[in-house]
Amino acid sequence: MLGVIRRRVVSGASSASILGQSLHSIRPIASSEILLQPRGGLGRVRNLSHLIFAGSSPCIKKARNVGGVMQPEPIRQMWSRPFSSETGDFIDAVVPHMGESITDGTLAKFLKSPGDRVEVDEPIAQIETDKVTIDVASPQSGVIQKFVANEGDTVEPGTKIAVISKSVDGVDHVGPSEKTSDKAAAQPSPPVENIDKKKEPKLETTPVTEKPKPHSPPPSKPSAREPQLSPKERERRIPMTRLRKRVATRLKDSQNTFAMLTTFNEVDMTNLMKLRSDYKDAFVEKHGVKLGLMSGFIKAAVSGLQNQPIINAVIDGDDIIYRDYIDISIAVGTPKGLVVPVIRNADNMNFAEIEKEMNTLAKKANNGSISIDEMAGGSFTISNGGVYGSLISTPIINPPQSAILGMHSIVTRPMVVGGDIVPRPMMYIALTYDHRLIDGREAVFFLRRIKDVVEDPRRLLLDI
């Protein structure tokens, strides 16, 4: 039938007369597919492929224009309007994967507001976890339409927290506390006649939204151990951050699990400080990083762990796991709490490589960009409280490790050297260890090795 119509159109017959003679023998499936102009007769048909007749083949994809004319612009826009949902203009910003050992986090704060323009991968919120703070980046350039979560909410990976609009039109300035369900946003407004009828079920459903409120009583449970202080003047109460709570839990678990014992020694820092003073300029010129005392203690700790492998081991159930690698964790204090980045394979690194790695990890820890992978693992920890002026302390083991070395401030004290009393820069060092696994003999030998290497760094070159 279509072939007959094409031949007659080419011969000069009008499309209206042709179809007038032929439409009685065919039945259109959808009459809405044929657009008629109000002047009468069949209007200009843009393309015969838009006419679907009963019994015609659905595979007809290409057909020539009838008479080579196009329909007017308004009708063409209506004809070619896509039938996709308008929600395709919106993109959801979700919580990213936070690490293998982290299942949830707290929405600390929003960095943007509804109506703000954002670019791709631009942070819009911060998630605080037990270890680090993670940014939630915008998946698309556009405008923030609304937030669907509140600051302080506990969120999991994949949780939607914001809606990004690709276009500026239709931006809904909704605050974080005004949560709106996706279904309610997608449905059109109900007729006026049904407004009164639909208000009643809304009043019945309001208690459902308040069901999570019974979860608030748990904070009263600690009252059995810790008395709840009544508010007083000139006091302010601030909730603990997840990082601070995690550190508190791990330290208490460490005390409850390990049989911790601490042994001390003192180190004469004269030779190590002279080494740094003599070669600091040449070191910076060649390696581009300053030579510090910390790298000397890390190399000394590596030597001590190699001489006493039990310090680098750990108890796992009824077994002892000996590690053939040395990953040194360095405790770093930040405004948000204590973090412990790891220098991996420290036994294969020289002084310059250790200094560079420490500087990189310290900068990331202070600005909050350190990742979970950079803090995972670690077989031995060094904590330098001397940078804050600590004279002596008993550090707590960082689980699941078995020992931790504490460094302290350098103080000039009178010492007996060769029968003479001379001033010397001295430092107290402390080793806290798990006495279930490590005996006092190994602990003392380990500290003696650190003392020997720091007081005479040439031992590292000669391996003696």
The β-bridge relationship of strands 260-268 and 420-434 is antiparallel
Q: Are strands 328-330 and 380-384 parallel, antiparallel or unpaired?
A: parallel
> In the annotation, is 24 catalytic?
no
Of residues 337, 354, 353, the one with CA closest to residue 295: 354
What's the first-to-final CA gap in the chain, in angstroms?
101
Residue 403 burial by CB count (10 A; 0-12/13-18/19+): exposed, middle or buried? buried
Q: Which of these is catalytic: 135, 435, 452, 456?
A: 435
Tell me how far CA of residue 223 lies from CA of 110, 182, 211, in angstroms: 33, 40, 24
Number of Cβ within 10 Å of residue 14's Cβ equals 13
- Residue 295, judged by CB atoms within 10 A of its CB (0-12, 13-18, 19+), counts as buried
Rg (Cα) of the chain, in Å, rounded? 37
Amino acid at 308: Q
375 in Cβ contact with 131 (< 8 Å):
yes
Local structure of 239: helix, strand or coil: coil
State the Cα–Cα distance between residues 323 and 325, nearest whole angstrom. 5
435 is catalytic: yes
d(CA 58, CA 325): 68
Torsion over CA: 404, 408, 413, 418 (sign) = positive
Render 145-167 in DSSP notation, one character per residue.
EEE-S-TT-EE-TT-EEEEEESS
d(CA 381, CA 400): 11
Q: Report DSSP state, residue 195.
A: H
Distance of alpha carbon 267 from alpha carbon 386, whole angstroms:
13
SS3 376: coil
- What is the set of active-site residues? 435, 439
